[in-house]
Amino acid sequence: MPEINNKVSEKFQPYVSAGQNVAEVTLRAIVLGSILSVVFGVANAYLGLKVGMTVSASIPAAVISMAVLRGFFRKVSVLENNIVQTIGSAGESLAAGIIFTIPAFFIWAANAELAAQGYYHEVSKTQIFMLSLLGGGLGILFMIPLRRYLVDREHGRLTFPEGTACAEIIIAGDEGGGKAKKVFIGIGLGAMYKILMNALRLWSESPGVDIKRFLKGGTVGIDATPALLGVGYIIGPKIAALMMSGAILGYLGIAPLLSFIGSQIPGVVISPGDIPLADMNPSQLRNFYIKYLGVGAVAVGGFVSLAKSLPVIFHSFAAGAKELVKGKMSTEDVPRTDRDIPMSYVLIGIILIIVAIWAMPSTDLHLLGAILAVVFGFFFVVVAARIVGIVGSSSSPVSGMTIATLLVTCLILIAFGVSGVKGMVTAMSVGTVVCIAVCLSGDIAQDLKTGYLLGATPARQQWTEFIGLFFPAIAMGFTVYLLADAFGFVQDATHPNPLLAPQANVMATVVQGVMHQSLPWTPILVGGMIAAAVELLGIHSLPFAIGLYLPLSLSAPIMTGGIISMIVRKVTKDESTYRKRNENGILFGSGLVAGDAIIGVIVAGLIAGWGAYRTYFETHDGMMNSLSGSFGPVLSVVAFAALCLVFYAMTDSLKKNRP
């Protein structure tokens, strides 16, 4: 496979030279990219709400593009494939921005205490669509004047890991058929597994073991799903282990300790709990105490990530502001590979978005909110665009930047006399716009790097990024509402097994607490101190904090995927062979995620729209209520173990399936 030269050079020569005029933006590329954008956007929305993580869609989109276009058409250019992945990856980034923030409105709506205080706001599908377009549009437009500095002039210094890897895969297009098989097999297997387990309820989704005889208050279980297994492989053993360590501390350490303390003081109620500590089961211990430890840990982990980036932030902001002010260049006599959308269009677009944010009804943004959204949006877009160039999109501290936005916004609103429910809605609307802008700016930065290496026309990529934003923006509102109705984001009588939406829960808790001065500060501060202690050990605390917040059963399958990744690394001595096996695993894992998540959304639709199926689903919900009854937990573990073996085998099937 051709190697991308990422060394600093005065004159970089892309794969397709500026003088060549090849097919780039075609109808087939737009249609395929839009379909992939919606598919990966919906899949990542489900996954992110379940476990708080999304997986990159750029490489799977590029691989599927090569397989589909080359399968149906004789002549396909690498720049067409690049447009497909540019459009296709936007949905995943939008999903991240949505699931970090929008569920907060649903969480508040389910809060009886807020309802008693007059909470009236319900975010609509139209508002989700508009917030998606406004936030995403800001992220794309703010990134355009930064391209020459971050992508061109900093070439060799900023590697943009995902963008560079995607360019390498597109250039190696002759291997696309074999690689695409891994994605499609993963999608098919993940979907079939999910249908049998989740849709038909053949076996238990979350087998567990009661350990109260040995460790009262502790819990052991696993959400045996293909998506979480795939996520574990993709993020690798190190991050998976950090998540698992947080879960072990919370649910096999702190929870049993709380239960033991409760047994020494029977009948005593300890705030924020509302029943005696001694009477709480593991689920109640999580809801009243461990959850707030996780809130504090996630907040501190996000801020630490942000603090580590401060030198980059200041440098990037100064450079970005300079580029935005002086970024006037005529497209006349400019090489094709250096043409951006004209700066006049960019400025007009930004002004129109500011007016639209100001005029948008039912979000309580208005003039102050619009100003805050644009100011924070510009600042953090500059920050995020450079950070993803250094460490990649997966390590960008989006949650930390959003929490910082929310806290400062809350304080400013309170200073202007805006508080209570109105302040909550305004602050979260500002946070939503900023979060989506940050996510989209990171995505287009990676896409522009891919295009730079391939020799694409930047302006065409920038225009098509808006297409990649538009179609999943339509789907996001329907998807969030389906999932909210079917599963919910808060555990209650109607939704016993909700999608936990960890980041959105944290942000909802922070905003509500600041605006109503009702945060249970002690467990939150203790969680923050735990995260600080982890950082002092030289360990990245954010994955640990997410593991502390989420139930142990969600971290267990992720750890299993990480172990498979570790085994592949250990048993493969040759570096070249390992790279190929690991790429196989990432592609197959991405397929598992997509297949599982798509069926999950379909099941949500059936639950929401078909009463008979909803009754069937709820009747067979739980460890012992599956069609296989008491054998359900055993069958679940056996099926999951078989899936793990298939996963490992798929990493080693390159030689047999190479075209």
Q: What is the pLDDT of residue 614?
A: 79
Pairing, β 208-209 against β 220-221 = antiparallel
Q: At what angle do helices 632-651 and 575-609 cross, to 10 degrees?
A: 140
With CA atoms as reference, report the closest residue to 235 among 655, 585, 597, 596. 585
Separation between Cα atoms, residue 420 and residue 114, nearest integer Å: 10
Q: What is the pLDDT of residue 8?
A: 43
Contacts (Cβ under 8 Å, ≥6 apart) of 628? 202, 203, 635
Which pair of structure tokens corresponds to residue 245? 């360590």
Would the pLDDT of 568 be above 60? Answer: yes
Separation between Cα atoms, residue 427 and residue 234, nearest integer Å: 34
With CA atoms as reference, report the closest residue to 206 among 453, 500, 465. 500
Separation between Cα atoms, residue 118 and residue 109, nearest integer Å: 10
> DSSP label at 630?
G
Residue 277 and residue 258 in contact, taking contact as beta carbons nearer than 8 Å: yes
Least confident range from 282-296, 303-317, 330-344, 545-559: namely 303-317
Q: What is the pLDDT of residue 545?
A: 85
Using pLDDT thresholds of 50, 70 and 90, give the confidence band for residue 329.
very low
| Phi/psi-derived region of residue 216, left when phi > 0, alpha when psi is between -120 and 50, beta in every other case | beta
Q: What is the pLDDT of residue 133?
A: 94
Q: What is the pLDDT of residue 312?
A: 55
614 versus 523: the higher-pLDDT residue is 523
Mean pLDDT in residue range 177-187: 76
Which pair of structure tokens corresponds to residue 197? 């387990």
Residue 141 and residue 353 in contact, taking contact as beta carbons nearer than 8 Å: yes
With CA atoms as reference, report the closest residue to 594 among 17, 64, 14. 64
Least confident range from 246-250, 318-322, 621-625: namely 318-322
Question: 221 forms bridges with which residues in the sheet?
Answer: 208
Q: What is the pLDDT of residue 248?
A: 94
Separation between Cα atoms, residue 504 and residue 395, nearest integer Å: 18
Mean pLDDT in residue range 25-46: 90
pLDDT tens readout for residues 449-506: 889 989 999 999 999 999 999 999 999 999 999 888 888 888 777 777 788 888 888 8
pTM of the model: 0.73
Question: 158 forms bridges with which residues in the sheet?
Answer: 155
Using pLDDT thresholds of 50, 70 and 90, give the confidence band for residue 58.
confident
121-148 as b/e: b if 16+ CB within 10 A: bebeeebbbbbbbbbbbbbbbbbbbbbb
Alpha-carbon Rg of the chain, whole angstroms? 24
Residue 591 and residue 56 in contact, taking contact as beta carbons nearer than 8 Å: no
Task: Tell me the domain boundaries of the chain.
Answer: 27-172+335-486
- Ranges of beta strands (E only) in 158-225 are 208-209, 220-221
**Residue 72 identity (one-letter amino acid):** F
Mean residue pLDDT across the chain: 82
Mean pLDDT in residue range 236-243: 88
With CA atoms as reference, report the closest residue to 547 among 537, 534, 538, 566. 534
126 versus 617: the higher-pLDDT residue is 126
3-state secondary structure of 325: helix
Q: What is the pLDDT of residue 5?
A: 53
551 versus 4: the higher-pLDDT residue is 551
pLDDT tens readout for residues 402-411: 887 888 888 8
74 versus 573: the higher-pLDDT residue is 573
How far the first Cα of the chain sits from its last, in Å, is 14
Using pLDDT thresholds of 50, 70 and 90, give the confidence band for residue 514.
confident
**CA 206 centroid distance within chain:** 23
Would the pLDDT of 320 be above 70? Answer: no
Would the pLDDT of 640 be above 80? Answer: yes
Instruction: Output the CA–CA distances (angstroms, integers) from residue 570 to 93, 228, 240, 468, 566, in the order listed.
Output: 32, 22, 17, 39, 6
Question: 208 forms bridges with which residues in the sheet?
Answer: 221
Would the pLDDT of 366 be above 80? Answer: no
Would the pLDDT of 603 be above 70? Answer: yes
341 versus 154: the higher-pLDDT residue is 341
pLDDT tens readout for residues 90-141: 998 899 899 889 999 988 888 777 777 766 667 889 999 999 999 999 999 9
